[in-house]
Structure 1
Amino acid sequence: MPRFFTAAFVLLCSPAALALVPPDYQEPPSALTSEVEAGFQLNTGNTKSTSFNGRTKVVYDTDDMRQESLFKAYFAADDEETTSEKYEIQLQSSYKFYNGYAFGRGDFTWDKFGSYTRISTISGGYGFDAIANSSTTLSLEIGPGYRYNLPIATDSLISPESNSEVILRTAAKFEQKLQEYTSLNADLTSEIGEENNTLTLDINYKNTLFQDWAFKVGFNVKYTEVVPEGSQQTDTITTFNLLYTFQ
């Protein structure tokens, strides 16, 4: 029996056996990828405040379909009270065919201090890649949808009523690989309704530090045409995060 194990060990270590597994072998790319990023800030001394933002994205992409989910969270507080608390969920299913894809999408927002504390949008439609090569991608989408809004309570309107309407949603999703380890992404989305219109721009710059770790700078601005009394039409969020990618 010892001779059997010795012979097996010699066979496994032989050049013929090693040739079966090349030194530069890599696992085939997975259809499932995910990203987790977070940023935290703590100020002490004359100014005492804490802020946190996190983002998780999961994508399942095959030849026939693409499933994508995104979760975002924002929180900020000073030494007296919470000043910001917002959560977002985005879900999209796309079914590919010859020259484009059909999609169904859901966007849900809970914003304690926003002009609208609850926003839910369900939409669907058609999308296609206007540009698709190794360094640049531009996807365009259009389709109808339905939006529900709940305005924030004010001194003059303690119990505001929700409103809902049919909308037309259009979106442009741009991705540019600047260098081997850097990329720029920009998403522009508009929602046009009879009672209200919104325009959202989401831009981020990502620089890979090593392996699956990256530093990411993000800027999000949303314009809402009709807002409750005392609210601002434009909201902006700037983030500086560390990002880890699972593949």
Structure 2
Amino acid sequence: MFRAIAVLFLTFPLSALALVPPDYQEPPSDFTAEIEAGFQLNTGNTESSSFNGRTKLVYDTEKTKQEGTVKAYFAADDEKTTSEKYDVQLQSSYKLSGGFDGYVFGRGDFTLDRYGSYTQISTVSTGYGFDAISDHSTKLSLEVGPGYRYNMPIETEAEPDPQANRDVILRTAVKFEQKLQEYTSLNADLTAEAGEDNSTLTLDMSYKNTLFQDWAFKIGVNIKYTDVVPEGTKQTDTITTFNLLYTFQ
């Protein structure tokens, strides 16, 4: 009896290995996710250093692409909280057929910033985008379309009870990704929102270096310029982050 069990135990693993080729790899998945956290430096309307976190989810199929990003920033000095900001970005794209890499999209950007020049920012937009370059090492996408933006200014001594600003905008975006080497890459997103009452320009850059397997070290810089800001606040906000990033798919 013992000899029969031993023969079955030894035979089964060998049979299972015979069914799986030595160079077998899991098929590519339509779903990818990035989770990162780390250290940040703030300049502009806030001067402090602390921690931040970011999660990005992407579901990319043959016909559609769904993207969602959540960012959280929190900073405090020896006395009090100096920065508390939350960003949510959602985009749904439908890929057009006809032999070109074009797509139409709907997008929403939402920000709660306790110490920013605007404490609440909500932007919804739609439009057309296309992949100008898309190969193994370089990707370049361009987007343009109309939108609507809601801004709530921060309370100041000059304006203790501010009124929200509502503006129709034209949003344009350039998304660039360059693979420098096998384990390093550079990303840069430039977004402009032009409105009758106010305009913004945002540059989001990052450098990623893979450490091992799915872990990477990432340096990021986010610079946002706002043309019209409440009195006593600055037009330019800069956030620099140093994060450890994990990617799974």
Task: State yes or no: 1:18 paired with 2:17.
Answer: yes
The CA deviation string for residues 183-219 of structure 1, in whole angstroms up to 9 with x for no partner, is 0000000000011110000000000000111000000
Between the aligned residues of both structures, percent identity stands at: 72
> What residue number does 2:50 align with?
51
Task: State yes or no: 1:95 paired with 2:94.
Answer: yes
1:6/1:118 CA distance change after superposition, 3 Å: same
**Matched residues in 1 for 2:49 and 2:219: separation?**
19
The CA deviation string for residues 153-192 of structure 1, in whole angstroms up to 9 with x for no partner, is 1101101000101100000000000001000000000000
**Matched residues in 2 for 1:229 and 1:50: separation?**
25
| Counterpart secondary structure, 1:25 | coil
**Matched residues in 2 for 1:206 and 1:57: separation?**
15
1:13/1:88 CA distance change after superposition, 3 Å: closer
Quote the offset at 1:7 in angstroms.
6.0
Task: State yes or no: 1:36 paired with 2:42.
Answer: no
> What residue number does 2:192 align with?
190
**Matched residues in 1 for 2:21 and 2:227: separation?**
60
**Matched residues in 1 for 2:5 and 2:154: separation?**
74
Instruction: Give the letter for the 1:87 counterpart.
Output: Y
| Counterpart secondary structure, 1:154 | coil
> What residue number does 2:171 align with?
169
Quote the offset at 1:23 in angstroms.
1.8
RMSD across aligned C-alpha pairs, in angstroms?
1.8
Unaligned runs of 5+ in 1: 42-48
> What residue number does 2:44 align with?
none
Quote the offset at 1:22 in angstroms.
1.1
The CA deviation string for residues 104-149 of structure 1, in whole angstroms up to 9 with x for no partner, is 0000001111111100000001110000000000000000000000
| Counterpart secondary structure, 2:17 | helix
**Matched residues in 2 for 1:192 and 1:181: separation?**
37
> What residue number does 1:118 align with?
120
**Matched residues in 2 for 1:106 and 1:203: separation?**
20
1:241 alignment partner, one of 236, 240, 243: 243
Alignment of 1:218-229 (within 5 A): 218-229=220-231
> What residue number does 2:64 align with?
65
Verify the 8 A CA contact 2:198 2:228 in the aligned structure 1.
yes
Alignment of 1:104-143 (within 5 A): 104-143=106-145
Report the TM-score when normalising by structure 1. Answer: 0.92
> What residue number does 1:75 align with?
74
Quote the offset at 1:40 in angstroms.
3.8
**Matched residues in 2 for 1:216 and 1:110: separation?**
24
Quote the offset at 1:2 in angstroms.
6.9
Aligned residues: 240
> What residue number does 1:45 align with?
none
Quote the offset at 1:79 in angstroms.
1.2
Quote the offset at 1:52 in angstroms.
1.0
**Matched residues in 2 for 1:125 and 1:3: separation?**
70
2:148 alignment partner, one of 146, 149, 155: 146
**Matched residues in 1 for 2:159 and 2:220: separation?**
34
